[in-house]
Amino acid sequence: MCFDDFKLLYMQMSIGVRRSIWRDGLISVGLYVLPVALMVGSFWLTGQRPWLDGPARPVLGAARGVPSVLGQNWTESSLHTRPQAEVGRHNGNGGGKLFFREFFAAIQVRPVLVNLTTWGLPVLTLAVGVVEFFLGLYDKRWTGNEKTLDAVSFVGSRLLIRPAVVYFTLWALPWLFPGQKGVFAWVPFWWGFFIIAVADDLTQYWYHRLHHQIPWLWRFHRTHHSAPYMGMSMAGRQNIIYTVFFSQIYLTAALTYLGLGEAALLVTGVKSLITLAAHSSIAWDKPLYRWRVLHPVAWVLERLISTPATHHAHHAIGGPGRDSTEGQTLAVCANRASFTGKTDSRTYTDGDGVGHYKGNFGNMFFLWDVIFGTGIITRRFPSGYGIKHYKQEEWYAQFLWPIFKSRKVGSELARGGPVVGDAPLNGGQLVDAVLAGSRGREIGVATAVNGARGGGETLRDEATLGRHNGGGLADGLADIGDAAVV
């Protein structure tokens, strides 16, 4: 992609969305820095210099040692030979902290997390999925094509691609940054957990949000939202390209290489449990809303982490006014395009007032939606799930687009299909057409100009006539590239 291509993608977003991205992006910089600043501040207040003491031992119960919360660790033999009072004075908390460390060592938390993040989560997903199936929570919506797509995504994305990405990243980092392995191993465990939890989930929040707000990116995330149901079967339902470029995977792998592997292990386990529970069709949060005594707990949880109610609302059927093109004009120059005019930002929720297709982007932490104002909390569940323009595209097209395209006429995933997207600017599909032409395809741009001027028809009408009559803008662009015209 050249600079003009990125500029055109940027122009697909409305002015309001662009401003919110810039504003929230600056706030995010502060959020990324916050855990590190708090850690450094705590060291300054307590006079600690852990980077001078060597790497910290893990707090997760290693086989040969008993770890410390503060990063100052002792072997089992030293703990038994030193008087308890002396150990207590060193850590500033008497025997309580000693008991805490011995407890973690005794229950061997680390092997539990290793098993959970390797084979444990897939087994848990399958087990909960079986329960959902026998409870009849999928009904007739789980058709043969949907079953195949869910199964392929589960095996391909979750069991093969994600581990492969982590392995490749950890293999490549020593070549890219030699001598940097373990440079942050001195970071105390719980500070490392805090740092990774914020960095990993905030990065995924932005990755997720941008795939909703940029029409060109939406098609890579569309597979996850096309499911007309919620549950374990669709939790890992993702396009292969979307999975390969999961930004938070690379970030967490890099922090692991730098010495925060133990903390990354715990973050992965906790985050996976929260996100799976949020996708489940078993609404574990309903009792929190039903019993008044639990309302304070619900108030905190629903603002801190993703729950079934908040995340199901994100998967509600509908989206912004995709059929509205009122007031939109396309200015075509040699290699650039821009949009002006009015757009329709209404959200279709089938009248239930619950669905929030344009927000609730948080994965582990719903807190990001609270901070950036992208969240809605109703404590209710939507009446339907999926996308209104879903054409039940072939499983291979949804999983492998754009490598393989759909044969469904009018599908977003078909050759020359429309870029419907989940973005406030509903003319993004026309920009996408010019984007194809901007790569040296003067014929496509000329066709767009002629189509806009011909016969007093608008560009949208010309494109429609072109599809039906075998000519016009749509066919012209389809012959020279995978343009997307509505």
Q: Which pLDDT does position 39 carry in this prediction?
A: 95
Residue 241 above 80 pLDDT? Answer: yes
**Collapsing DSSP states into helix, strand and coil, what is residue 75?**
strand
Reply yes or no on whether the pLDDT at 359 is more than 80: yes
Lowest average pLDDT, out of 51-55, 103-107, 186-190, 200-204, goes to 103-107
Statement: residue 332 has pLDDT above 50: no
Give me the residue label for tokens 């890579």.
Answer: 220
Q: Say whether pLDDT at 141 is over 80.
A: no
Give the pLDDT of residue 131. 78
DSSP 55: P
Which comes out higher in pLDDT, residue 141 or 469? 141
Checking if the pLDDT of 225 tops 80, the result is yes
Which residue from 320, 249, 364, 397 is spatially nearest to 16, judged by alpha carbons?
Answer: 320
Lowest mean pLDDT among 81-90, 113-122, 184-193: 81-90
pLDDT at residue 420 tops 80: no
- The reported pLDDT for the residue numbered 249 is 87
324-353 burial string, b = 16+ CB within 10 Å, else e? ebeebebebeebebebeeebebebbbeebe
pTM of the shown model: 0.70
Contacts of 280 (CB under 8 A, 6+ apart): 128, 132, 230, 231, 232, 235, 308
Q: CA–CA distance from 87 to each of 59, 183, 210, 212 (Å)? A: 17, 27, 50, 53
Rg from Cα positions in the chain: 26
Query: Average pLDDT over the chain, rounded to whole?
Result: 72
pLDDT at 404: 93
Q: Is the pLDDT of residue 247 over 50?
A: yes
Q: In sequence order, what E strands does 88-186 have?
A: none
Give the residue with greater pLDDT, 272 vs 427: 272
Q: Which residue has the higher pLDDT, 322 or 181?
A: 181
CB-based contacts of 205, cutoff 8 Å, min separation 6: 361, 362, 363, 365, 368
- Closest by Cα among 463, 455, 456, 452 to 486: 463
Average pLDDT over residues 37-55: 86
The residue behind tokens 């095996």 is: 155
